[in-house]
């Protein structure tokens, strides 16, 4: 076992902590702090686990020698990425798979073990603490209320602008006692904007029943591109599509995933003022399917990157930011993620990652 006390091996009386004593200390800490303690080697193999791993349905010998992904992630999807990549400490709330296939929510902390005298790293220490369902529901409710408050503030702001504009034109027309066609055209555009916001919000809020099945992600992308061929031709945009020859199976709602791809491709088209190029790639990376949509547009300023995906934040002249918020919601429902990288004057890439379906039969 990699020693967690390597830098503190001398205690009162200059006595070195023996391996069996070290295990007793770790077991005592696990009981007192009500946490599970795991020690791994540099390559992530488990060399020690506290006895309370039985809450996951395992005995200690079943865990030794395995990686954390092998222990907690069955059937395998994307890597859990528990271990820190640098000197930082990983701390987050995650859902873990138990031996019987059920799930448990736990708070995880993971840090590197480092020998300061020899100036080298030799492993990791990981602690996990179970979160009760009551606590989980409380946290989820708090997050929902926070998101709802943010959304409500955005809706109020977005609706107020066109209403103020229309009210002003109506007052002018009443004062002039004249029919003004130009004012009516502007008011019609403002009403269309309100209708667009309403439709986007309805799509986000209504609980449509998912139609889950195993689909080929490459085929969904082809259908999505085909639906936009008219716009692609009119804007003289070149679309390059790279995909694996083998099918990329995912368990998903095909219509919702198609909605995500259409939204991302449309965003890429709108990011380019003149003729440009969109590169779409679909590939397998370990246990994940990765789809990237890259445009050659103007790019997104670095200071705005953290706001991408927030409701009513958009870099488009006539956008409202709800489309990407919907995409994030759909992909989260599919246990996936969306990331974005951009460079001013070069373009932007959105990457969608989804777990590949593995037939357990």
pLDDT (average), residues 239-254: 89
173 shares its domain with 219: no
Task: Give the burial string for 84-113 (b: 16+ CB within 10 Å, else e).
Answer: beeeeebeeebebbeeeeeebbbebbbbbb
For residue 327, pLDDT over 80 is answered with yes
pLDDT in tens, 200-210: 566 555 555 66
44 shares its domain with 127: yes
Q: Which of 173, 96, 174 is nearest to 128 (CA)?
A: 96
For residue 224, pLDDT over 70 is answered with yes
* CATH code of residue 274: 3.30.565.10
Q: Look up residue 261 and give its two tokens.
A: 């791809």
Instruction: Please report the DSSP string for 120-132 in residue order.
Output: EEEEEEEEEEE--
- 9-13, 45-49, 99-103: which has the highest mean pLDDT? 45-49
Residue 126 in any domain: the answer is: yes
The length of the chain in residues reads 361
Domain boundary among 205, 231, 258: 205
Residue 361 in any domain: the answer is: no
Assign 8 a pLDDT band (cuts: 50, 70, 90).
very low
Assign 311 a pLDDT band (cuts: 50, 70, 90).
low
234 shares its domain with 261: yes
232 shares its domain with 350: yes
- When divided into structural domains, the chain yields a total of 3
pLDDT (average), residues 126-142: 68
230 shares its domain with 141: no
94 shares its domain with 185: no
Residue 360 in any domain: the answer is: no
Least confident of 11-20, 62-71, 175-184: 11-20
Residue 341 in any domain: the answer is: yes
- pLDDT above 90: percentage of residues in the chain: 11
Domain boundary among 167, 183, 205: 205
pLDDT in tens, 276-300: 899 999 999 878 899 999 999 888 8
Q: Give the domain range for residue 182.
A: 136-205
Average pLDDT, the chain: 76
pLDDT (average), residues 23-38: 84
């Amino acid at each position: 076992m990699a020693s967690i006390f390597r830098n503190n091996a001398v205690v009162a009386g200059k006595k070195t902590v023996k391996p069996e004593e070290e295990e007793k200390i770790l077991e005592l800490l696990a009981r007192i702090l009500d946490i599970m303690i795991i020690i791994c080697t540099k390559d992530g193999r488990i060399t020690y686990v506290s006895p309370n791993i039985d809450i996951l349905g395992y005995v200690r010998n079943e865990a030794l020698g395995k990686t954390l992904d092998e222990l907690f992630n069955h059937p395998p999807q994307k890597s859990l990425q528990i271990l820190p990549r640098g000197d930082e400490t990983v701390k987050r709330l995650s859902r873990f798979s138990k031996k019987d296939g059920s799930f448990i929510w736990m708070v995880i902390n993971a840090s590197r073990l480092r020998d300061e005298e020899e100036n080298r790293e030799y492993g990791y220490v990981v602690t996990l603490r179970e979160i009760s369902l009551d606590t989980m529901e409380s946290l989820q409710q708090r997050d929902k209320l926070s998101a709802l408050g943010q959304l409500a503030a955005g809706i109020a702001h977005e609706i107020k602008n066109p209403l103020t504009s229309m009210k002003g034109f109506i007052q002018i027309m009443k004062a002039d006692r004249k029919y003004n066609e130009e004012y009516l055209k502007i008011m019609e555009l403002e009403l269309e904007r309100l209708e667009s916001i309403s439709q986007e919000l309805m799509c986000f809020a209504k609980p449509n029943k998912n139609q889950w099945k195993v689909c080929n992600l490459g085929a969904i992308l082809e259908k999505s591109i085909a639906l936009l061929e008219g716009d692609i031709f009119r804007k003289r945009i070149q679309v390059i599509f790279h995909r694996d020859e083998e099918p990329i199976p995912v368990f998903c709602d095909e219509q919702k995933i198609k909605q995500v791809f259409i939204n991302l491709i449309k965003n890429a088209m709108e990011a380019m003022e003149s003729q440009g190029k969109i590169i779409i790639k679909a590939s397998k990376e370990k246990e994940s399917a990765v789809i990237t949509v890259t445009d050659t547009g103007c790019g997104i300023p670095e200071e705005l990157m953290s706001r991408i995906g927030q409701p009513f934040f958009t870099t488009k002249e006539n956008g409202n930011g709800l489309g990407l918020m919907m995409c994030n919601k759909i992909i989260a429902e599919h246990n996936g993620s969306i990331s974005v990288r951009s460079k001013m004057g070069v373009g932007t890439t959105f990457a969608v990652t989804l777990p590949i379906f593995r037939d357990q039969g």
